[in-house]
Structure 1
Amino acid sequence: MAAKDDYLLSDLADLGFLTPQQISAAQTEAQEHNEGVVDTLVKNRVIRAQDVTTAKAAHFGVEMISLAETKIPDDALASIPRHIAKRYKVIPVLKHPHSIVVALSDPSDLSTIDSLQHVLHKEIEVRVTSDEEIDAALGKLYGAGDDSVASMIQNITEGNVEVANIKGDVD
């Protein structure tokens, strides 16, 4: 079992999302498949990703946010460039004069929070959401952008590009 899952399992049980029997069964299955216990529980629909987000928010004392239900102001979106948002898997939610409120899926990731403070020269206020919501918001708000170019370059270098032969009158 990943040590990272320990606090989540305890919090999920304390919040009434899991029983000790469910945890024990998931630990056995997770070990057999070499995956995280929480991942196993979500995959088997014993708990929802939303339950995990709730447990993380409670554990770290941060607010939860639903990105699907949040209108993000343009100034907040402009405060974090696409490459930074995608690299750190964060979504800017609000911009204040000296801080930026960001949504991320792991509020224990102090490295990401510190890096954002350093790169953006702003204090970072954290809100927690699921990985799925982060991924959906990155695609919706920032688009494919650089990913499409990288994909085209990869296709060209691998020789997966079809070249059309255009015939026409040339004078």
Structure 2
Amino acid sequence: MQQNEDYVLKVLQDVGLVSRKQVDAARKRLDGQNNVVDVLIKDGVVSDADVSRSLAAQAHMDWIDLSAMVIPPAVIKQISAADARRFKVIPVAFGETGLVVAVSDPLDIDTIDSLGFLLHRELELVCSSPDKIHEALIKYYGTADEASDIIQEKIGEDVDLGLEIGDAAAITETDEADAPIIRMVSMLIIEAHRAGASDIHLEPLDKKFRVRFRVDGVLQEMQAP
């Protein structure tokens, strides 16, 4: 762990995001709960995205912003909720040679190897920041309570989706059937808020389901989740 942290700090210094003086100051403030990188992030010297972008570049890995994407349900189903949470990864797309999966730490070779072994398939890795992956885990795999939490965090208001799944150990068949609906609703609300939409229009058509957001008084068609 210390070796990885030293490498991360060297990368951040090499690309000019932090100085030696800032690293030394952060070391003096360690409290046993955080590492130096955590302290630098907490102090606002660098962000999660800064760190993950820098590591991705060093690993010759593409960096993506998960919050700007709508991932199809068929892709999400490639990794179970339990495994996605366990490994802190998000399936992103079907690639040319395998499943495209977003990770937050390109240095965590054990997790990457374990996931590939578990899925019995080739993986094409991309990188995203830990906070974006955490948000995506709730967005695509979360319960109603978790979805409400993230929407409240984004919008700054109390939100009640009017649906509950309950504890994972006590999920009923009806609850499992509702889960995709809960995820879709939470996803639409988050995306609408991000787009600055005043309202959401859901329009079932003959051969597709159309989603439109009203932004600045104009209805704009969005990609259906």
Q: TM-score, normalised by structure 2?
A: 0.61
Amino acid at match of 1:108: L
Partner of 2:82: 83
What is the SS of the residue equivalent to 2:167?
helix
What does the per-residue CA deviation read over 1:72-99, in whole Å, with 9 as the maximum and x for residues that have no partner? Answer: 1222112111111111111000124751
Superposed CA RMSD in Å reads 2.2
Partner of 1:112: 111
How far the C-alpha of 1:45 sits from its partner, in A, is: 0.8
What is the SS of the residue equivalent to 1:72?
coil
**Alignment partner of 1:59 is 2:58:** yes
Distance 2:25 2:129 in 1: 24
Higher helix share: 1
Structure of higher CA gyration radius: 1
How far the C-alpha of 1:55 sits from its partner, in A, is: 1.5
1:17–1:96 distance in 2 versus 1, CA, 3 Å: closer
What is the SS of the residue equivalent to 2:39?
helix
Q: Which runs of 4+ in 1 moved over 4 A?
A: 150-153
Q: Are 1:2 and 1:37, in contact at CA under 8 Å, matched by a contact in 2? A: no
User: Alignment identity in percent?
Assistant: 38
Q: Where in structure 2 are the equivalents of 1:9-158 lying within 5 Å? A: 9-30=9-30, 33-34=31-32, 35-96=34-95, 98-144=97-143, 148-150=166-168
Distance 1:81 1:2 in 2: 31
How far the C-alpha of 1:143 sits from its partner, in A, is: 1.6
What is the SS of the residue equivalent to 1:103?
strand
How far the C-alpha of 1:136 sits from its partner, in A, is: 0.6
How far the C-alpha of 1:104 sits from its partner, in A, is: 1.1
Distance 2:105 2:166 in 1: 27
Gaps of 5+ in 1: 154-171
What is the SS of the residue equivalent to 2:49?
helix
Distance 1:148 1:36 in 2: 35
Amino acid at match of 1:114: D
1:42–1:93 distance in 2 versus 1, CA, 3 Å: same
What does the per-residue CA deviation read over 1:88-140, in whole Å, with 9 as the maximum and x for residues that have no partner? Answer: 11100012475111111111112221122122111111111111111110111
